[in-house]
Structure 1
Amino acid sequence: MTVTVEDVRSVARALPRTEEALVRDRVKFRVRGIVYVAFSRDETVMGFAFPKEERADLVAAEPDKFLMPDPVDERFNWVQARTSALDADEMREIVIDAWRMVVPKRVAAEHLGDAG
């Protein structure tokens, strides 16, 4: 199964403070201008917020699924995934975790029902 922009949109739009934007023909989801998910122009690659200190291990563990960010994005907490390699459950987890990185902790806790 290939994850589509529409699949991601259904998850992201339900997350508080999320807005969708089209920037240079690329669909992006963000909170107050901070992008947490973005698609390549051809929608075959989905970039997402991810701790940069953990991304090399993620890519090494599943190189057919995950890619290092483009050189221009290496300074950010960012990694990429091939949409054709993701299933719906994994995409949902990725999108929610990426959103949690950019939204205030209180907002995430309230929305997800976390104890703190």
Structure 2
Amino acid sequence: MTEVDRLRAVCLALPEVTEKVSHGEPTWFVRRTFVSLADHHHDDRLAFWCAAPPGVQEELVAAEPERFFRPPYVGGRGWLGVYLDVEVDWTEIVEIVADAYRCVAPKKLVALVP
């Protein structure tokens, strides 16, 4: 299973998530975008961008810039960039994606996510 397939499975396991192509890349929605694959800049890096709770982007980028980054366009709104072409901790990715979902999903759906 590729990293993209694994990311897709993590996103689609959450309540009422849909996948559509946006800006040429797979993107996952729960009413609004919460995770987007970030391969369209063709910089030879595979990553995704996601919504993040306040302060998380700064904390993770400062602590591990080889794994996390401030994405263009949405980084100013606190979104987090996560590289998938490094050693990936999938337990952590599941938590990051769940946090992104909680940032965007309606409260009734957030209540369904442990």
Please give the range of the TM-score, normalised by the shorter of the 2 chains: 0.7 to 0.9
C-alpha RMSD of matched pairs (Å): 2.1
Q: Which residue of structure 2 lines up, in the alignment, with residue 36 of structure 1?
A: 34
Structure 2 runs not aligned, ≥5 long: none
Match of 1:81 in 2: 82
Q: Which has the higher helix share?
A: 1
TM-score relative to the length of structure 2? 0.82
Q: Which has the higher contact order (CA 8 A, sep 6+)?
A: 1
Q: Which amino acid letter does the alignment assign opposite residue 39 of structure 1?
A: L
Contact 1:55–1:79 at 8 Å: present in 2 too? Answer: yes
In the alignment, which residue of structure 2 is the partner of 1:47? 49
3-state SS in 2 of match to 1:84 = coil
Question: Is contact 1:52-1:76 (8 Å) kept?
Answer: no
Letter paired with 1:45: A
Unpaired runs of at least 5, structure 1: none
Q: Which residue is equivalent to 2:4? A: 5
Q: Which residue of 1 aligns with 2:97?
A: 95
Aligned residues: 109
SS in 1 for 2:48: strand
Alignment of 1:11-22 (within 5 A): 11-22=10-21
TM-score, scaled to structure 1: 0.81
User: Runs in 1 of length 4+ with deviation above 4 angstroms?
Assistant: none
Correspondence for 1:58: 60
> Between the two proteins, what is the percent identity of the paired residues?
31
